[in-house]
Each structure stands twice: as C-alpha cells, then as structure tokens.
Amino acid sequence: MTDYTDLKREVWDRDMCSGCGACVGSCPLEALHFRGDDNPVFDGLCSKCGTCYSVCPRTERDVAVAVSRVPENKESIGPYRERYFARSSDFQIIKRAQGFGVVTSVLKHILDEKIVDAAFVVTSDIFMNIHPMIARDFSDVKKSARVKYIWTPVLSKLREAVLDESIESIAVVGVPCVMQALEMLDRSKLGLYKKKIKLRIGLFCWEIFRHILISEMIHKELQLDIDPSRIWMFDIRHRKLVVELTDSTEYQIPLETASRYARKGCNYCVDFTSEWSDISVGNAGAAKDFLTVITRTERGEAIIQDMIKGGKLVTGEFDETVFSLAERVNKKKKLRIKNFEVREKD
C-alpha cells in the first residue's frame, strides 16, 4: 500500500516533481498543499489510500516511456489525427491573447456551445503571480489570455471543480506534465474525476520557470529595472525569453540564462508537444502569423473542424518543412529519457 511518504521518497526528494498539482487536487483529506516551494508539503492526516501516488506522472515510468515511444504511431510528435496552421478569426481575441488566440478561441467555443461547463486555466495578478483558475464563461477566459511561462499547480483545483455539482464536464489547459497527470488519473480508480474531465488542451513546452525568475534573474542577476506590474507577458522566440511590458517595450534574455530558473522537475519530462492531449497547441513549427495545432483524438478533431467550418479559426496551408522544427525539438526533448535510466540506478 502506497501513501504520500512513497511519493516524497521517490519524487519530491529527488527533485522530480513536475508541479502539475494532481496530488494536491485529488487528496481526499486535503492534506497536501503547495506553498511556494517546488514540492508539495504534507499537512494533515493520511488515510494511506495511495491516490496521490497513483495520479503522479513521475511515479509511473511506463507512462513517460509511452509518451516517447507510442507503438501505434512512429511519428516523433506522437499519435495525431490532423495538423494545422491556425489562428483566431477574432481580432479582439488575437490582440488580447497575443499567441494568435487559438486556445482562447477554443475555450470560448466549448463554453459557449456547452461542450463543457468549465475549464482549468491560469491567470495572474498585477505582480505576475500565477494562479490556477476555474473558468465558467468567456469573461473568465479573458483573464487567462496572456502568454505565461511561470509555474502554477494547475490541477490543484481538481477537487473543487469535481465536487461542484453545477459542473458536469471540464476542459483542462496545461503543459505536457499536466496532460500526463490526467492520463494517470484516467488509469486510476477515481471514477468521478474521470467522468467529469472531458477535454485536454495541451500546450507545447520545453520547461517552465519558477516565479523567482523575476526577483532573482530579472532584478538581481540582470539588474533590469522592471516593475512586475508592467509585465504584459512572457514569450519564447529564437531561443530567447522575451519579456514584453504593457508599453510594448521588450527585453530579450538568452534561454540558457533563463533555464537556470526553471523547475528542476522539468529535466525529467520527455514530451514537448503534449502528446496525451486531445488538442495540442504551440508556436514551434508554425508558419508566420499562425500557431501549430495538432488534433490527437476524434473529439479534438471534431471541435477544430467545427470551429473552422464556423469561421472561428482561420487556417493556412500546412507546410511539412516549416513544421519539421516542432518535430526536431520534440525529438531532442525525448533524449531526456536518460534521466529515468539514472533514476533506476539510484
């Protein structure tokens, strides 16, 4: 029988925690919490149910291997139905979302059409402190539209949403480790959780940064006089972390410098394109003025097709040579599988 001490020994103490928040959001006794550190803390009673261990994407080596080596599809990006270059058709969404508004448009569509009742997103306060949020309508979605590369435990609100009787279906937006945690949850015995989570929207991700990126790197190391309340968004372009301010001023920081402030658990992730999602979205491998959209399931493909036919998404001609960048980055990230070999030798 497993409990949180097994999770602590195998994952937290080895700096392998992805920070997805699944353990916090599924603990029936609400005994796990994130308090600003890389790892959760235990504060309460443990029934030794093993739920936290069963949903963690770092405890099941086979899931990580499967992400890298899906047997039914040899493509480096994992199984998919279709690939698109797409952007929102709504200029106001593009203007607010910055990233050509695909995810924001998808969220608006699935909430307006009652495909889901709520969606897990992340939002930020004026100091760029990032928080998970349950969006119930487009006014909530708009609060999450900026591009963010700062970590927050997205799935820590799982219990709140699942136990809410007014919510019967949920979409989750998140980076690859969040999608992997949802796959682990789907394999677990948490029937109500599995029943309510209806759609996974995965984001391309190489690594995600801790909030100390602002205080330790921007302010202390680089000595940039940037007020956090003036940061509009973070973006990654041409191996640079771009900090864009509300007045459109940009600071470009070498990714090698910023990577020192990434979560340590990111070193164990072997998925770049969110292969366990229904719909994957990112800017790598996309044509100019578009995002890359990969549909991986029948449900995900149906939603994107409905949006294209309804004029909510605009698509461009797909180009394999342009898209190959996403494949190359994904292959490079899969080399991180060697970390699991090191883990087995410990």
Same domain, 140 and 184: yes
Among residues 220, 235, 261, the one where a domain terminates is 261
Residues 160 and 182 occupy one common structural domain: yes
Q: Give Dmax (Cα) for the chain.
A: 56
Please tell me whether residues 288 and 157 are part of one structural domain: yes
The residue among 261, 172, 173 whose CA lies nearest residue 217 is 261
Would 249 be classed as within a structural domain? yes
Q: Are residues 225 and 88 in the same domain?
A: no
Asked, for residue 8, whether it belongs to a domain, the answer is no
Share of the chain above pLDDT 70, in %: 91
Say if residue 230 is in the same domain as residue 186: no
Tens-digit pLDDT profile for residues 195-204: 999 999 999 9
Question: What's the pLDDT band for 337 if we cut at 50, 70, 90?
Answer: low
- Which pLDDT belongs to residue 134? 95
User: pTM for this structure?
Assistant: 0.91
Does 48 reside within a domain? no
Are 233 and 195 in a shared domain? no
Comparing CA positions, the residue from 185, 151, 134 lying closest to residue 265 is 151
Q: Indicate if 249 and 102 belong to the same structural domain.
A: no
Residue 339 has pLDDT above 60, yes or no: no
Question: Both 177 and 324 in a single domain?
Answer: yes
pLDDT at 65: 47
- From residue 195, alpha-carbon distances to 20, 158, 159, 169, 186 in Å are 20, 13, 13, 8, 9
- Tell me the three-class secondary structure of 112-154, residue by residue: HCCCCCEEEEEEECCCCCEEEEEECCHHHHHCCCCCCCECCCH
Instruction: Please tell me whether residues 307 and 228 are part of one structural domain.
Output: no
Is 50 among the domain residues? no
Residues 204 and 292 sit within 8 Å (Cβ to Cβ): yes
With contact defined as beta carbons under 8 Å apart, do 169 and 115 qualify?
yes
Structural domain contains residue 232: yes
Output the domain CATH number for residue 230.
Answer: 3.10.450
Specify if 57 maps to a domain: no
What is the pLDDT, as a whole number, of residue 63? Answer: 52
The C-alpha torsion from 134 through 140 and 143 to 144, rounded to 10°, is: 50
* Confidence bin at 282 (pLDDT 50/70/90): very high
Does 200 fall in a domain? yes
Q: Return d(Cα 344, Cα 149) in angstroms, integer.
A: 30
Residue-wise pLDDT tens digits, 23-58: 999 999 999 999 877 899 999 899 999 999 999 999
Cα–Cα distance for residue pair 201/179, rounded to 1 Å: 8
Task: Give the pLDDT of residue 211.
Answer: 87
**pLDDT class for 237, splitting at 50, 70, 90?**
confident
Confidence label for 311 from pLDDT (cuts 50, 70 and 90) = very high
- Beta-carbon contacts of 57 under 8 Å, excluding residues fewer than 6 positions away, are 18, 20, 22, 63, 64, 177, 180, 181, 183, 184
Residue range of the domain that includes 245: 212-261
The average pLDDT across 167-181 equals: 96
Average pLDDT over residues 113-139: 91
Query: Based on the domain organization, do 327 and 178 belong to the same domain?
Result: yes
- What pLDDT does residue 70 have? 42
pLDDT (0 to 100) of residue 203: 95
Whole-number percent of the chain with pLDDT over 90? 68
The domain boundary, picked from 261, 282, 302, lies at 261
**Stretch 288-293: mean pLDDT, rounded?**
96
Mean pLDDT of the chain: 89
* pLDDT for 151 beyond 60: yes
- The verdict on residue 190 lying in a domain is yes
Kindly state the average pLDDT of the residues 110-128: 92
The verdict on 189 and 105 lying in the same domain is: yes
Pairing verdict, β 118-124 and 82-88: unpaired
Contacts for 293 with CB less than 8 Å, ≥ 6 apart: 83, 84, 85, 86, 102, 279, 280, 281, 304
Bridge partners of 271, per DSSP, are none
Residue ending a domain, among 261, 276, 301, is 261
Total number of domains constituting the chain: 2
Based on the domain organization, do 316 and 172 belong to the same domain? Answer: yes
